[in-house]
Amino acid sequence: MEIEMVKCANGIFAPAFEHDLPRLTKFKNGEMYTFSAKLTRNPAFHKKMFAFFKFCFDHWCANKAELDCMDEHSQFERFRKDLTILAGFYEQTVRLNGEVRTEAKSLSFANMEPDEFERCYKAMINAAIKHIFRGCNEITENRLLTFF
């Protein structure tokens, strides 16, 4: 499990993003864990990317009543991966049964150079405009433009 962390005062590390908080419940008090730390890309830009995902997800969910009974975290993760694929950042493999499997590329610092991350971000915006915000109202369109 990977969770982006930020070093706070007194040497304490805290989750960088609100969507990672539910994942921390897997860790039990009093048990010992080993963590590996690596510096990630510009946290403000990464945060902006996840704010963009959240904005897109909320807009997409607004008219989907059937999502009420689904786990929001799991649905958000699937949505994020699907938007990454629609933006053209994916890898394909062939399964044993001959079907092609498409997986979203990881956006982590270790797996994507900063210039590729910037291209991915721009492609995500274009994919969102094409597939999620087609025909949206002016207020939503103006909010979308703040991510440029």
In tens, the pLDDT along 109-136 reads 667 777 888 899 899 999 999 999 988 8
- The C-alpha atoms of residue 142 and residue 71 are separated, in whole angstroms, by 29
- The C-alpha atoms of residue 76 and residue 80 are separated, in whole angstroms, by 6
Residue 133 DSSP code:
S
**Statement: residue 69 has pLDDT above 70:** no
pTM above 0.85, yes or no: no
Which has the higher per-residue pLDDT, 22 or 124? 124
**Statement: residue 31 has pLDDT above 90:** no
* pLDDT of amino acid 32: 82
- Cβ atoms within 10 Å, residue 73: 13
H or E element in which residue 94 lies:
strand 90-94
